[in-house]
Structure 1
Amino acid sequence: MTETVVHVTTLEQWKSVLDVWFKQGYKWFVFEKGDYLEDVFAGSSHYLILDDFIYQNKKNDHKSFIEYSEFMAQQKEDNKMATVYEVSQSVFDKLQKIKNHEGTSLVGAVSVNAKYIKSIEVGNKAIIRYLADDPAIEFKVKEPLYRLWLTDDNGDKLFFWIDEGRPDWVGAADEAFTATLEEIEKWQTPAWEIEKIE
């Protein structure tokens, strides 16, 4: 991913940029997803950085950055393009089967699978538009997430996590550091095993 650096000067701008990135599924490198970290924003100029995670800097250490107004203009332009929904492989495969509606009409395929379509958390309107070949709606398979684990001397399973910027371990799976396989492999050492999150 290409690094994006946005210069913000107010807390409102800070929150606005973070809202866009949180909606796209990004999170802070170390902190909880969705936290604005208002205490980090101290009223002076800041640079929000998006790479695989969200970072921030008080000064400009980056060759290229965009101002908040330019960033928001880009978002308006991007919103005119297709809306992409990420779903599991099984949901994607089922939607393809319904979309192909072999041996029946599309309306018939939707009727037969109405309960299943309703159970998908994306929303019925988006799914129906996708099935009807609306180019503004796109579905893709969500990239699976992974975590690292090891077994301690007592036989307990421990999970890798990052505590205030430094690697550590935790006993609860839901608190483990999770990321794409590429990112997880950067943190793996011989002690840690990679586990796909279902």
Structure 2
Amino acid sequence: MTETVVHVTTLEQWKSVLDVWFEQGYKWNGNNQDSQQGRFKYYYYEAFRDGCRQLSVSDEKSIYFYGINGYKGKTTEYSEFMAQQKEDNKMATVYEVSQSVFDELQRIKAHEGMSLIGAITLSAAFIKSIGVGNKAILRYLADDPAIEFNVKEQLYRLWRVDDTGTKSHMKFVLGTPDWTTSETGAFTAPLEEIKKWQTPAWEIEKAD
């Protein structure tokens, strides 16, 4: 059996790899599928939460993951995987931004009451602040089909203030809830998954 194992480091990368395979017709294998719910696009955020960072597919069109990174062979890094997908499928370059940034780009693109160049000139500081490169943004505003902007899925995390007044966030260590004072070290996930772990001690907040 031929398999491809992709190593990811963030929840966004985990979801992006699965989205590519779902689009190509891959499905979870019998051991990992959500048989009770019968959901096709199920992301298994629980596996990422518990430390899994290796996603795999076989030539049998099956998706699976390695528990706690048990695969010891050669893995493909996320950036290499996505670059290959772009080359194979002539995919557009997709940038993910917040809803507010996306809405502002649509406003500039519509350039109501003025030329597109005029709208771009007036919004030069905003365009520069997006941080994905002016060239890509200008191509997008000019309707270049090779450039896409999508709204980034909003992620959330749990926080609380301890007895010393320090703000802490929930994280997981080998599947066990723990805490950290680092926002970047906190467990982040879509709201549906975060709500599973909320107790009266924790509040939910958006994660940038």
1:85-100 correspondence runs (5 A): 85-100=95-110
Which aligned pairs between 1:137-176 and structure 2 lie closer than 5 A?
Answer: 137-176=147-186
Matched AA of 2:3: H
Which ranges in structure 1 are unaligned for 5 or more consecutive residues? Answer: 1-5, 9-13, 28-49
Mapped pair 1:183 → 2:179: no
Q: 2:108 touches 2:120 (CA, 8 Å); kept in 1?
A: yes
Confirm whether residue 26 of structure 1 aligns to residue 16 of structure 2: no
Percent identity of the aligned residues? 61
**Pair 91,75 (structure 1): closer, same or farther in 2 beyond 3 Å:** same
Which amino acid letter does the alignment assign opposite residue 103 of structure 1? Answer: G
Q: Of residues 62, 83, 87 in structure 2, which corresponds to 1:64? A: 62
Instruction: Map Cα deviations across residues 41-65 of structure 1 (whole Å, 9 max, x no partner).
Output: xxxxxxxxx75445449xx9x9925
**TM-score under structure 2 length normalisation:** 0.60
Work out the CA distance in 2 between the residues paired with 1:173 and 1:111.
36
CA contact (8 A) 1:160 1:167 kept: yes
Number of the residue aligned with 2:3: 7
Question: CA 1:115/1:55 → structure 2, altered by over 3 Å: closer, same or farther?
Answer: closer
**Contact persistence 1:162–1:168 (CA under 8 A):** yes
Query: What is the identity, as a one-letter code, of the residue corresponding to 1:140?
Result: N
Contact 2:95 2:150 in 1 (8 A): yes
Q: Is the 8 A contact 2:158 2:170 kept in 1?
A: yes
TM-superposed CA distance for 1:174, in Å, is 3.6
Within 2, Cα distance between the matches of 1:147 and 1:118?
Answer: 29
How many residue pairs get aligned? The number is 159
Distance 1:79 1:124 in 2: 25
What displacement does 1:84 show?
1.7
Q: What is the CA–CA distance in structure 1 between the aligned matches of 2:185 and 2:11, rounded to whole Å? A: 21
Q: Does 1:83 align with 2:81?
A: no
- Distance of 2:89 and 2:186 partners within structure 1: 33
Q: CA RMSD, aligned part only?
A: 3.8
Contact 2:95–2:148 under 8 Å retained in 1: yes
| Cross-structure match for 2:133 | 123
Structure 1 match to 2:36: none
Q: More relative contact order in 1 or in 2 (CA 8 Å, sep 6+)? A: 2
Measure, in 2, the Cα distance between the counterparts of 1:74 and 1:155. Answer: 48
